[in-house]
Amino acid sequence: MHHNDKRKSRRKPIGYCAWIHLDAPKRRDCVLVDISESGARLDVDAPNEVPDRFVLLLSKNGYPRRLCRTVWRTSNQVGVKFEAAK
């Protein structure tokens, strides 16, 4: 890990299809670029349209899933932190 890296846990690159759960039954496709215990980086078409908080579906049937908070955006990616379900 690079010494300037602020992440608490090591990321694993994966390139895996996932879905951002919007208002049911809407979903937005994304690609899980990398993931750690605490968060992930996602490739998305319109990062500015990704909500500040959302549920990330890690399979087509909706489980497993992670509650996410968007922490940064670029022109084609978002970085998210996983939050505990309430």
Residue 13 reports pLDDT greater than 80: no
Average pLDDT over residues 77-83: 97
Q: What is the CATH number of domain 12-83?
A: 2.40.10.220
pLDDT in tens, 19-78: 999 877 789 999 999 999 999 999 999 999 999 999 999 998 888 999 999 999 999 999
pLDDT on residue 7: 57
pLDDT at 25: 79
Q: Are 19 and 41 in contact (CB under 8 A)?
A: no
Judge contact between 84 and 67, C-beta under 8 A: yes
Domain boundaries, the chain: 12-83
Residue 86 reports pLDDT greater than 70: no
pTM score: 0.81
